[in-house]
Structure 1
Amino acid sequence: MSDQTTTRQTWVAIGPSGTVGSIHRTHEGFVVRMPSRDATGGEYPTLAVAKSALFAALGPGAEYPEFHEH
């Protein structure tokens, strides 16, 4: 049995119409996933940068989503 523990962190982005994306912690940083896109948007060094990237991907006129850790 190993003493190592894997901690996974996920933040769900919720906008007026429901879930608009999610952010997942990796060993290297944070990855953004959006249901409207097949691929991830790259890896970001901090959670704040990942949140900004997700918001930018929502497009002009979008409201800033609420982020909930799961």
Structure 2
Amino acid sequence: MTTTTRTRVWIAYGADGRVVGTIRAAEESYTVAMAGASAELGSYPTMEIAKSALHAHLAPGSDWPRFGEH
């Protein structure tokens, strides 16, 4: 028997349209990675917390990014 796990990915876009990070959703967590970073920021229990963590790692004063499912 084969078990398939579907991973969903959201791309975060900054105000200028460039990719600033990603959020990958798995079974029970949302993993955040910033664009160009060598390591993930961490995993969070909800999408809203993951979005907030990603926004918190942008430059001070940055607008809330636009998220699009990929």
Percent of aligned positions with the same letter in both sequences?
Answer: 43
Q: Which runs of 5+ in 2 are unaligned?
A: none
TM-score between both structures, scaled by the size of structure 1 = 0.86
Does the CA contact (< 8 Å) of 1:23 and 1:30 recur in 2?
A: yes
Q: Structure 2 matches for 1:1-70, cutoff 5 A?
A: 2=2, 4-17=3-16, 18-70=18-70
CA distance in 2, matches of 1:69, 1:35: 16
Deviations 1:29-66 (A, max 9, x none): 01101123211111100000000000000021101111
Q: Which amino acid aligns with 1:33?
A: A
After TM superposition, the score normalised by the length of structure 2 is: 0.86
SS of 2:51's partner is helix
Q: Structure 2: how far apart are the matches of 1:48 and 1:14?
A: 16
2:10 counterpart letter in structure 1: W
Check whether the contact 1:28–1:43 (CA below 8 A) recurs between aligned residues. no
Query: What count of residue pairs does the alignment treat as equivalent?
Result: 69
Structure 2: how far apart are the matches of 1:38 and 1:27? 24
